[in-house]
Chain A
Amino acid sequence: MIERWQASVMRAFVGILVGALTVAGCATDKGPAQAAIAAAETAVNSILADASKYVPDQARGLQAGLTAAKEKFTKGDYAAASTEAKAVADKASQVAAAASVRKAELTKSWESLNAGMPRVVESIKSRVDILSQSKKLPANMTADKLAAAKSGLGEITQQWTAATEAYKGGDLAEAIAKGTGVKAKAAEVMTTLGMTVPDALKG
């Protein structure tokens, strides 16, 4: 009878001990998890502006990772939260590097566009102006084609202004997108006018 009572007390004691150790273990993990999440949040916030602009998918991935780490923390899974947060912080530096590479690529594209497009526009404008003064249009040119070219020149000018404004506003991706549209339109107008299309406008 006494032996049975002793075994029962022992089992209860072991159970309490295991429970206490688990709680203590979790409490020990909480602080580091909190610190890891804070560090990940700082890392993400420091690169988020550029990452959202230049590598938006990767930026969204980082934010999702941070959210997942916070959810794990809220559920008390501190070890998993800590692991997730550390992975997010590591990933943040990779995303920052990718954003930097993409920014450099876009900047190079923009510089090329910005150096070349005004010359193309000037060339088209010059031809349109002269043809507008002509008493009779050349072979392969009709009044309709000239009217289309004039209208196209208006679009080009407007879109190019929008592209340069996007650039000035810091939106390189939008500037490139608009500039690429201008390239296509310029090639179309030059072809309509029977002009030789520069290589940069092809393809």
Chain B
Amino acid sequence: MENKSQQGGGADEWDATQWHVVQKGETLSKIAQQYYGDASLYPKIFEANRDVLKDPNMIRVGQKLRVP
């Protein structure tokens, strides 16, 4: 999408996972707003990242999140 978004690492050329690297000041709602146009859809991102997120309000800068 834009420079904050990137492909997952590794050599899997079929990897269609969409990634977002968290920037300073971002929240899941802001990320949802950016990708979906609707901040209320943040649970979609939270659910897709349950392996690395315990709390939707606790994301950190530089964290790589899947954007379904």
> Which A residues fall within an 8 A CB radius of B?
112, 115-117, 119-120, 122-124, 126-127, 130-131, 133-139, 141, 190, 194-196, 198-200
Residue in A127, A194, A196 with the greatest tally of chain B CB atoms within 10 Å: A196
Q: Do A133 and B1 have beta carbons less than 8 Å apart?
A: no
**Residue from the list A117, A130, A200 in contact with B68, Cβ < 8 A:** A130
Q: Do B13 and A135 have beta carbons less than 8 Å apart?
A: no
Q: Do A134 and B14 have beta carbons less than 8 Å apart?
A: no
Please name all residues of chain B whose beta carbon is closer than 8 Å to the beta carbon of A116 when the two chains form the complex. 13-14
B26 within 8 A of A: no
Question: For the complex, what is the distance from the CA of A136 to the CA of B6, rounded to whole Å?
Answer: 24
Interface size class of B (residues with CB under 8 A): 20 to 34
Q: Which 5 A-B pairs have the closest CB atoms?
A: A116-B14, A138-B37, A123-B16, A199-B13, A134-B38
Q: Do A200 and B41 have beta carbons less than 8 Å apart?
A: no
Question: For the complex, what is the distance from the CA of A141 to the CA of B37, rounded to whole Å?
Answer: 9
Please name all residues of chain A whose beta carbon is closer than 8 Å to the beta carbon of B33 when the two chains form the complex. 138
In the complex formed, the residue of B with least CB distance to A124 is B16
In the complex formed, the residue of B with least CB distance to A202 is B13
Question: For the complex, what is the distance from the CA of A123 to the CA of B17, rounded to whole Å?
Answer: 7
Please name all residues of chain B whose beta carbon is closer than 8 Å to the beta carbon of A135 when the two chains form the complex. 37-38, 40
- A-B contacts, CB under 8 A, total: 66
Please name all residues of chain A whose beta carbon is closer than 8 Å to the beta carbon of B27 when the two chains form the complex. none
Question: For the complex, what is the distance from the CA of A116 to the CA of B14, rounded to whole Å?
Answer: 5
Please name all residues of chain A whose beta carbon is closer than 8 Å to the beta carbon of B37 when the two chains form the complex. 131, 134-139, 141
In the complex formed, the residue of A with least CB distance to B1 is A194
CB neighbors of A among B4-50 (8 A)? 5-7, 13-19, 33-38, 40-41, 44
**Residue from the list B14, B18, B35 in contact with A115, Cβ < 8 A:** B14
Question: For the complex, what is the distance from the CA of A134 to the CA of B33, rounded to whole Å?
Answer: 9
Q: Do B41 and A198 have beta carbons less than 8 Å apart?
A: no
**Residue from the list A133, A141, A195, A200 in contact with B18, Cβ < 8 A:** A195
CB distance from A160 to the nearest CB of B (A): 14
**Residue from the list B7, B34, B35 in contact with A198, Cβ < 8 A:** B7
Beyond A134-B38, A138-B36, A196-B19, list 5 extra A-B contacts (CB 8 Å): A119-B15, A134-B37, A138-B37, A194-B35, A199-B7
